[in-house]
Structure 1
Amino acid sequence: MKLSFLFILFCLPFLAIGQSSILVQNQRCEYLINPEGIDELSPRLSWTLGAVNAAAFGQRQTAYRIIVSCSEDKLAEGEGDIWDSGWTPSADMQHIVYKGQALVSDRYYYWKVMVKDEAGRKSAWSPVAYWSTGLLKHAEWTARWIGATEVLNPALADCNIADPWFRKTVTLEKQPRKAVMFIASVGYHELYVNGKKIGVNVLAPAVTDHTKRARYMAYDISRELKPGKNQIGIWLGASWSVFGAYATPDKPRAPIVIAQADVYNEINSKPVMRIQTDTSWKTHPSPNQLLGKWEFGNMGGEIWDAGKEITDWNGPTCDETDWKKATLYAPHLMLTSQMVEPNRLFTEIHPVAIEQRADGSYRVDMGVNFAGWTEIRLKGKPGQRIDMLFSEREKDDMTFRIRNAFIPGKSGEGVFKNRFNYSSGRWITIKGLTKKPELTDIRGWAIHTNYRPAASFECSDSLQNWIYNTLRWTMENISLGGYIVDCSSRERLGYGDADVFAETGLFNYHLEAMFTKWMEDWRDVQGARAMDPLNYGGNADDGIIPHTAPTYQGGGGPAWGGMCIMYPWLIYQHQGDTRILEKNFDTMKRWLKFLDGHTQKDNLMVRFGGAWDFLGDWLWPNANAEGMNNDKPENICFNNCYRVYNLRTAAKIARLLGRTAEALEWEQKAEASARAIHAKYYNATDHSYADSSMGNLAIALFAEIPPPALRETVMERLEKEILVVRKGHLHVGITAGGILFKVLRDAGRDDLLYSMTSQTEYPGWGYMKANGATSLWEMWEKDTPGHSLMHSSFLYPGAWYIDGIGGIRADPRFPGFQHFIIRPPKLHAPQMTWAKTTYESPVGKIETSWQRKNGDFNLLVTVPPGGKATVYFPSAGNGPVKVSSAFAKNKGTANGYTLFEVPAGVYVFSGRE
């Protein structure tokens, strides 16, 4: 690709006299765009800036004024009757805490912001944004939990509960001006008014620890209500309601729901009616039912019986003769708002081939491994079941018991479409058809939480492009329900091994709301369950953290529970968010106390829990043959190093929050343990640790175990391990892999990272590509039985493409990217000659584009208004560097780079490498 670095300084006219250089854009409330039904009493407002003249330099904000009103009309008149911040001298654009009147439940709040630029000129008002409140006090819920009488029979092979319908007739005198229904359910739900589904969300609500809480969602139903009789319908799906970890005596193993809506004829007046769930609602089994039991290896699918269809179940002509009165339930659950984006249907997928087989079945190749819904037009015998089996592997008809089924009605024809479950796989084997389907009869959709992409990347190396695009596809397909699952097929558990994908997620997507919600899940599960009842007698220590949240089950080790420190810290570094540190500080403190309980007087932690509770690295090459659950010294060393990392990071957080006593305690413990680890596990003969593995070298450097005088020596030993011992390949798994990439990214060793990602032989991403992968595997090996071919295991290069190859790096001194670093890689691989990268940071969109040719290096950098950057140009000592603007100030050289400080603007740098 030929890049053009033409720079036109006067592509737009100069600013009119008195006109601001900046405008406000990308407004958010609690990381969300116009969120509805939130229950945060002090929400935070954020925005970024755009340049009025893209050819100008140094644009920045010097003050802001926010106004909040209860009506759009008042806001249009410039009246902030709820809050007027007044002119506030500040460059801050993120996390501005609302300080107006106390918020009222079920109310819309409209806001806009004006800013002053570097010359004190006022910008235009921003577009109008809003948020709405949910029910802020539990006592405001007068509705009752309802469900059907049927409950799960655990002795059966498949779920025995039909997904129930509920309906109620309400009569209104006039069209309401406002009516918002708040719904919380255990199990999935859909809401209908007069036969129309409300909203485009699917698989709602987000996954939640239903031993503790249920999250409610807000639905504006005012436009669908009409004068006269109205039918309110709710459809529930079994799903997480039958999940074994959520079974408690106070609620059934079956879906239940609570919902209420106040109906207003005038905005902000008194309601004329409350619609709420109670025994006046009627219920009836729907034709849809869960296949499987929503458990490990048996998440199943759905079966639709067309002979049981009632076309007007949610409409005015439905015959309610056979409908029963809803059953009341009284679960002990907190009701809190779902403050994370809902699930949506995204990429539409079409089959690429259909094979007719000798046994009369048909094999459909969807062309890509995906997690989501399918819609299939089918023709069979009336009343005879048609099965659709999903597989990740071409050789198998079905993997992980993922399947759907359809029973045709009298016509023998019909359409199957998912409703309350999703499938995962690439191939679909259809059995029981009387007619071969056409390619046009089948389509699918990938599903994920409705977060927005935050980055783009493209380069001259086709393998690196494949890795980047495939890891993004994989991550999107495993992020359903407001958390990240390990795999969408076998487990759907929210593992805490955050090193794998945390920064990949934060650099490539706007996952801040998801991660904030997920941290609430981790707070919910802490101290609730023992890791292994056989070892803990069924009792949980106060600070113990299960290896998954909000799902409890699964195995892990200290690096899984330790995410309670890592996640908030990474979000703070990327977003400058101190509230997430404050909310999770007690969780961190309890976790470290739990680890202290397993640390001896020699300052070394000992193995604890059962066979699956003290994992170190996981799924390294050939790990199954070597044995992964072990008590070998390398595992003990690895986990002790991770504890030191946890202590060091928690100490930094404590200092930020003014918690000096905890900071001193954790700093002292970290230093004492680091000395003990080095004394016991350092191999002086070859400057390695424990078993001399790549994983233990990486974790030792990550946790700052080597004394400062030895750190460079240990780094050189890691380089030798990669280039000489492993011949350019990596030899790590999930946990150590994420840590290895973090260590090398921070050290600027893009050459070593490129070596490992460019290999096409086992093990590596190129090996996956060469073996036909369309998503990233769980193991480096393809055909290991019982392991998924779409998994979170090896997503960690995703951050490197943005901050390594793209060179867009956070400056640790300035959390939130108001000052950041641009440092292109020093790579001379012939297939890596150019790269283009964008990242939508908290301060706005950052762009880089670089090209090398015949020793020349050209770099284009865009710094958004309000931002500043240090640019590292790779040409120190090789002649002068040409810069397109005098706003770039030369700051000398360092480590083979020429440094420039630049304010907002677009810059072109060129010189010899």
Structure 2
Amino acid sequence: MHRFKIILFIMICCCQVRLAVANSVASIVPDQLTCAYLTDPIGIDDLTPKLGWQLRATDRSRYGQRQTAYRILVGQDSVALSQRRADVWDSGWVESDATQHIVYSGKKLHPDRKYYWSVVVKDEKGKMSDFSPIGKWVTGLFSNADWTADWIGTSEVFDASQTDYNVYDPWFRKNIYLEEQPSDARIFVASIGFHELYVNGQKIGNPVLAPAATDHGKRARYIGYDISKALRKGSNTISFWLGAGWSIYAPYVRDDRPRGAMVRAEASLYNASREVIGVIKTDGSWKTHPSPNKLLGNWSPRNFGGEVYDANLEVPNWNQSSYDDRSWKSATVYYPHVQLSAQQVEGNVLFREINPVAIEALPNGDYRVDMGVNFAGWTQINVKGAPGKRIDFLFSERRQDEMTFNNRSAYIVDASGAGTFKNRFNYSSGRWITIKGAESKPSLQDIKGWAIRTGYAPASSFVCSDSLQNWIYDRTLWTFDNLSLGGMIVDCPQRERMGYGGDAHATTETGMLNYKMASFYAKWMEDWQDVQGTEPMVGNMNDPQWARKKTSSGRVFNTGILPHTAPTYWGGGGPAWGGIVVTLPWSYYQQYGDKQILEDNFDLIKGWLNFLEGHVQDDLLKPYGGDWDFLGDWLWPNATAEGMNNKKPENICFNNLYRVYNLRTAALIAREIGKEEQAAIWQAQAEKSSIAINARFYKNYSYADGSMSNQSLALLAEVVPAEDIKKVQQQLEYEILVKRKGHIHAGITGGALLFKYLRSIHRNDLIYSMLKQTAYPSWGYMRDNDATTIWEMWEKDLRGHSLLHSSFLYPGAWYIDGLSGIKSSSPGYKTFDIQIPKATDTDIAWAKTEFISPMGHIKSYWTRQDGNLTLDIAVPPNTTALLKIPKEDGTLVLQQKAKVRTLPAQAEYSIMVLEPGEYIFKNID
């Protein structure tokens, strides 16, 4: 008994100690540090970069964790910073709950410097947390004036009349001698076209197809590489392998440079005392030589081609110091007029390995490889053939076609009779590979593929009880991934590779709700700024007054006009294509809470709306441009048979509704950044146009043809008279459920705006009615016809159209903010809702979603079993959530000891206020 009392006393003391320790520790600690939305970036050219962090709860069983103050330390010495000594910036304690968009406000930053930083916070009780892990960023070169290196290229000239590019991708190299190994060295590399960097034969950095796609007529983006460990005392060789890529794209052709790849690079090499012990910079003293690799195709729509590698032209050790380059030519110096900017977006990465599932020997001696999935990326193929033999690889999206959209590559065998083809400066797209010219059938192990995308991080995971919804979600994200090469979302990776603004309506919210895309979309908006003022590529093709230039680029008007794609110029579209410059910044602000995106693009928005205003008569937007410049919705079911619809009333109505939607969104933007006068102007224009639209197109609660696109856009744009809203909604419901029998009947832009509106009013039932279908037209029809990616059109068998496309990716947003119910109620998710769908909305039994918002981890698990609802919810520190539960689910009981505040019920929902923490709710019975 005495022993039991002693043990009990010890246990009580331990519990008290643990409780005391818990009460003495802050409830939160900062983590996940970012600078300019990136983790430890190299080459930031912003003098006042934005810093951010997320808060992690130190005890997940507690509730109400909040930040009340922060202190940021920035220094140039990581050891000193770990001892809490900052020589660049000590913010002091700032009473604030802000964790994102904290503008650096310390000493003036210097180019090519490494800055370390850490943050400490106080929690809701004023207790100081531990310091965060130390993060860092490296400044780049802030302006063109900071660069001393030259642009270098070769004297080779591309013959633009040829179907295939006729210049081999060049090598460049330079030897330098160092008296000691540097302790700190970064090289900044800008290229027009793609580049790979080597130091002493070692490839530096992981990104592929670098840099990101850019309007090379105006801008070149540079990347910073840390080369400290690759350099050595004594002789060193710095080398570049350049690829043609976007350098030869017709709209970027300029008189001040050749149509081919160029590079500009420089580095200062420092010892431990920060003394410069060496310099690297490109100039005319560098040597150049053709590599064995060159582009197939000419980097134009339907002819992006692939690559051909001639193994007979290999030069061993070409990038090593031991190689004698005296026979190489000197590089040619060029002086292009381009702005140099840091690439403040993640580079492309190989994000998934793909292995073939079958290889078939064909009667004609060819071999047909099934990779099992449609994808855009690289392939590696081991082959055997007679010396000098050319082996061709033809890529196809369709089983019955040998090749689609001229996607092809080739390998020329050397004297060994065997070799390996692998992509370097281009990529293929398709599922099937036809191998022509190989002397024997390759094995499955001889072939590999890798899908490529921009290297952003995932933000969400989703799974539910409905296998079709899981398939749509999974294939939507897979398709999105394969469209995001180069810091823009393209329409398709095989035929056009254009950054269409209209298609972006179908992808941006899906992207933001499933990935960490802040740096990506900020970069893409910069691309739209670059292309403003140039007419669309297609223009009025048959009108000599609007004829294209000989290089295929539009005329420069220097007005607010926008081409339909960025940074790519080419392609057709309409008001909703240029209008992405209004809607994307506003969606970005709602998602990330960063007002800078609105300020940076305000002039772009104003110019665009002024351009549209120039085509308004009697308060209605009139058709302008050529046949391909006034598209509205695009690729609805059976659209190819019905035609483009440009001059029909339903299309003119759609584009006028879209203009009002742009105006109202722009007015919100203007008010948010204090431009009240401009907001009033746009609001007045929207009101007058709404009156005109209603007078011209509105009858019997229908807009023009009463299509899903026009009805939903009229509601989204707030054109519908207030007293008629319910009637117009009912007409839309009738169109979906009765006239179309639950199927969607909309295309790229119309469908995206339809889903956006239905999501905004929580009509999960109508969205689900379209997503559960398996007959044409539907996503289920794609699944049941062996799709592995989302198609360009609702129809499968129309040749010439892509089977990997951006058209119908808009369901990807609904799974997060609709079926899972996670929806921000203030910019950046400081407050948000979790609105559980009604049991009558779908026949889905459960859904599980994890979402990493800008404020941290949100969880929404819901299950209905035998009429009982169970919820598993996580609310991140520093936020507040409103949990909205359908009244039909009855009373739910919290399973933990936590205070939950109940608000008055609204409409059909009971509402509870959830402070940060984790919660499980179950029905009483």
Q: How high is the TM-score relative to the length of structure 1?
A: 0.97
Aligned counterparts of 1:818 and 1:289: Cα–Cα separation in 2: 51
Question: What is aligned with 1:312?
Answer: 317
Are 2:629 and 1:610 equivalent residues in the alignment? Answer: no
**1:273: how far off?**
2.0
Which segment is superposed worse, 784-793 or 889-898? 889-898
Aligned counterparts of 1:37 and 1:877: Cα–Cα separation in 2: 53
Are 2:384 and 1:372 equivalent residues in the alignment? Answer: no
8 Å contact from structure 1 (residues 357, 363) kept in 2: yes
**1:831: how far off?**
4.7
Aligned counterparts of 1:439 and 1:577: Cα–Cα separation in 2: 48
8 Å contact from structure 2 (residues 667, 678) kept in 1: yes
Are 2:249 and 1:243 equivalent residues in the alignment? Answer: yes
1:529-560 CA-to-partner distances (Å, cap 9, x unmatched) read 45526465745250001100000001111111
Are 2:870 and 1:858 equivalent residues in the alignment? Answer: yes
Task: Determine which of 693, 702, 707 is the counterpart of 1:677.
Answer: 693
**1:883: how far off?**
5.7
Task: Determine which of 598, 605, 608 is the counterpart of 1:591.
Answer: 608
**What amino acid sits opposite 1:272 in the alignment?**
I
Question: What is aligned with 1:175?
Answer: 181
Secondary structure, in 3 states, of the residue corresponding to 1:804?
helix
Question: Where in structure 2 are the equivalents of 1:31-180 lying within 5 Å?
Answer: 31-180=37-186
Aligned counterparts of 1:626 and 1:636: Cα–Cα separation in 2: 16
Aligned counterparts of 2:920 and 2:536: Cα–Cα separation in 1: 57
Secondary structure, in 3 states, of the residue corresponding to 1:272?
strand
8 Å contact from structure 1 (residues 885, 907) kept in 2: no
Question: What is aligned with 2:640?
Answer: 624
Question: What is aligned with 1:213?
Answer: 219
Aligned counterparts of 2:804 and 2:839: Cα–Cα separation in 1: 30
| 5+ long unaligned stretches in structure 2 | 1-14, 548-554
Are 2:564 and 1:552 equivalent residues in the alignment? Answer: no
Question: What is aligned with 2:778?
Answer: 764
Which segment is superposed worse, 543-552 or 73-82? 73-82
Secondary structure, in 3 states, of the residue corresponding to 1:705?
coil
Figure out how many residues of one structure are paired with residues of the other and give that number: 897
Task: Determine which of 887, 892, 898 is the counterpart of 2:899.
Answer: 887
Are 2:722 and 1:705 equivalent residues in the alignment? Answer: no
Question: What is aligned with 2:667?
Answer: 651
* RMSD, aligned CA: 1.5
Are 2:275 and 1:270 equivalent residues in the alignment? Answer: yes
Question: What is aligned with 1:302?
Answer: 307
Secondary structure, in 3 states, of the residue corresponding to 2:919?
strand
Question: What is aligned with 2:812?
Answer: 798
**1:493: how far off?**
0.4
**1:702: how far off?**
1.1
Are 2:540 and 1:540 equivalent residues in the alignment? Answer: no
Aligned counterparts of 1:536 and 1:838: Cα–Cα separation in 2: 51
Aligned counterparts of 1:597 and 1:632: Cα–Cα separation in 2: 21
Question: Where in structure 2 are the equivalents of 1:184-195 lying within 5 Å?
Answer: 184-195=190-201
**1:867: how far off?**
1.1
**1:629: how far off?**
4.5
Question: What is aligned with 1:414?
Answer: 419
Secondary structure, in 3 states, of the residue corresponding to 1:621?
coil
Task: Determine which of 642, 649, 652 is the counterpart of 1:633.
Answer: 649
Are 2:859 and 1:843 equivalent residues in the alignment? Answer: no
Aligned counterparts of 1:214 and 1:47: Cα–Cα separation in 2: 30
**1:912: how far off?**
7.6
Identity score, percent: 55
**What amino acid sits opposite 1:499 in the alignment?**
H
Are 2:739 and 1:725 equivalent residues in the alignment? Answer: yes
1:81-104 CA-to-partner distances (Å, cap 9, x unmatched) read 101111001111010000001110
1:870-906 CA-to-partner distances (Å, cap 9, x unmatched) read 0001135845655644421111212221100111011
8 Å contact from structure 2 (residues 468, 780) kept in 1: yes
Aligned counterparts of 2:879 and 2:18: Cα–Cα separation in 1: 23
**1:157: how far off?**
1.8
Secondary structure, in 3 states, of the residue corresponding to 2:22?
coil
Task: Determine which of 873, 884, 893 is the counterpart of 1:872.
Answer: 884
Task: Determine which of 489, 493, 496 is the counterpart of 1:491.
Answer: 496
Question: Where in structure 2 are the equivalents of 1:551-570 lying within 5 Å?
Answer: 551-570=568-587
**1:137: how far off?**
2.8
8 Å contact from structure 1 (residues 106, 133) kept in 2: yes
Task: Determine which of 451, 460, 464 is the counterpart of 2:465.
Answer: 460
Aligned counterparts of 1:885 and 1:834: Cα–Cα separation in 2: 25
Secondary structure, in 3 states, of the residue corresponding to 1:701?
helix
8 Å contact from structure 1 (residues 877, 896) kept in 2: no
Question: What is aligned with 2:8?
Answer: none
**1:241: how far off?**
0.8
1:414-444 CA-to-partner distances (Å, cap 9, x unmatched) read 0000000000000000000111100000000
**1:828: how far off?**
3.6
**1:174: how far off?**
0.5
Which segment is superposed worse, 453-462 or 902-911? 902-911
1:561-581 CA-to-partner distances (Å, cap 9, x unmatched) read 011111110110011100010
Question: Where in structure 2 are the equivalents of 1:569-588 lying within 5 Å?
Answer: 569-588=586-605
1:748-772 CA-to-partner distances (Å, cap 9, x unmatched) read 1001111100000000100000000
Aligned counterparts of 1:631 and 1:621: Cα–Cα separation in 2: 19
8 Å contact from structure 1 (residues 530, 540) kept in 2: no
**What amino acid sits opposite 2:682 in the alignment?**
W
Question: What is aligned with 1:662?
Answer: 678
**What amino acid sits opposite 2:255 in the alignment?**
P
Seen in structure 2, the aligned counterparts of structure 1 residues 117 and 447 have a Cα distance that, compared at 3 Å, is: same
Seen in structure 2, the aligned counterparts of structure 1 residues 597 and 754 have a Cα distance that, compared at 3 Å, is: same
Aligned counterparts of 1:912 and 1:764: Cα–Cα separation in 2: 39
Question: What is aligned with 2:478?
Answer: 473
Question: Where in structure 2 are the equivalents of 1:520-535 lying within 5 Å?
Answer: 520-530=526-536, 532=539, 534=543
8 Å contact from structure 2 (residues 632, 646) kept in 1: no
Secondary structure, in 3 states, of the residue corresponding to 2:449?
strand
Secondary structure, in 3 states, of the residue corresponding to 2:752?
helix
**What amino acid sits opposite 1:761 in the alignment?**
A
Aligned counterparts of 1:536 and 1:409: Cα–Cα separation in 2: 50
Q: How high is the TM-score relative to the length of structure 2?
A: 0.96
**What amino acid sits opposite 1:122 in the alignment?**
M
Question: What is aligned with 1:233?
Answer: 239
**1:482: how far off?**
0.7
**1:13: how far off?**
6.0
Aligned counterparts of 1:610 and 1:441: Cα–Cα separation in 2: 50
Task: Determine which of 724, 748, 752 is the counterpart of 1:734.
Answer: 748
Question: What is aligned with 2:923?
Answer: 911
8 Å contact from structure 1 (residues 875, 912) kept in 2: no
Aligned counterparts of 2:18 and 2:214: Cα–Cα separation in 1: 53
Aligned counterparts of 1:111 and 1:74: Cα–Cα separation in 2: 11
Aligned counterparts of 1:912 and 1:549: Cα–Cα separation in 2: 55
**What amino acid sits opposite 1:669 in the alignment?**
Q
**What amino acid sits opposite 1:40 in the alignment?**
D
1:439-479 CA-to-partner distances (Å, cap 9, x unmatched) read 00000000001000000000000000000000000000110
**What amino acid sits opposite 1:810 in the alignment?**
S
**What amino acid sits opposite 2:869 in the alignment?**
F
**What amino acid sits opposite 1:145 in the alignment?**
W
| 5+ long unaligned stretches in structure 1 | 1-9
Secondary structure, in 3 states, of the residue corresponding to 1:74?
helix
**What amino acid sits opposite 2:136 in the alignment?**
Y
Secondary structure, in 3 states, of the residue corresponding to 2:601?
helix
Seen in structure 2, the aligned counterparts of structure 1 residues 71 and 877 have a Cα distance that, compared at 3 Å, is: closer
